[in-house]
Structure 1
């Protein structure tokens, strides 16, 4: 079984994720835009038992657009948000796809909150 490693910018917070993600989703919600500083965020959802975490992290709890809480975990040294826990999916951890820095990572299969997607942003028909 393949293991992928996600890490923050300084490398002190690391996740070992076993196997393939259960799903990969591109999110245009305003909070993902703020979290990433981009027009969207991309999350790989893994079952909790398939992820091992090493390193120190801090938490930030926020409301999601769906009304559920999301606990974001970030590195206290570089500030990178590497993973988060969506209250509406308690069995899963969401990992920032960019934290894998892997151009071969599986593409998103869906996109959500497209009503917040900028009009100038075009994406492949796959999602």
Structure 2
């Protein structure tokens, strides 16, 4: 492992993830699906290319169709249910890693933007000062 690599595990230690180098981006997502999955206004995510990570352990997953038409698969530890990663048909070759899984390493990866800001709750000011996109980013 290099100095910037991150090694994390779920709450019970069964699912382990090693992340190599910096993520492509970090973001908050306030789409209705992320609100339901997180139980709050948004999820906080980092995007790593598949070749930048190693995963070991077992997960259970479920798929949902997002408002955009993309299919999102959310993977959780098969034993304790900790969210471990997600995939999207819109982001082939990448995985969405919940920033909360990273522990203290998340302090070095603040979100850069909020996507699906059109459905964020008025009381949540977490994204104040971040670039806001009503749906996906423009690139």
- One fold, TM greater than 0.5? yes
Q: Please tell me the TM-score bracket, short chain as reference.
A: over 0.9
Aligned mates of 1:85, 1:104 — CA distance in 2 = 23
Aligned mates of 2:36, 2:8 — CA distance in 1 = 20
Aligned mates of 2:23, 2:99 — CA distance in 1 = 10
Residue equivalent to 1:126: 130
Quick one: higher RCO (CA 8 Å, sep 6+), 1 or 2?
A: 1
Per the normalisation by structure 2, the TM-score is 0.85
Per the normalisation by structure 1, the TM-score is 0.92
Unaligned runs of 5+ in 1: none
> After TM superposition, what 4+ stretches of structure 1 lie above 4 angstroms from structure 2?
none
Aligned mates of 2:7, 2:67 — CA distance in 1 = 28
Match of 1:13 among 4, 12, 15: 15
Does 98-107 or 22-31 show the bigger shift?
98-107
- The 1:100/1:72 distance shift into structure 2, 3 A limit, reads same
Unaligned runs of 5+ in 2: 132-139
Match of 1:104 among 84, 102, 107: 107
Q: How many residues align?
A: 127
Residue equivalent to 2:136: none
- RMSD over equivalenced CA pairs, Å: 1.3
Match of 2:120 among 117, 120, 123: 117
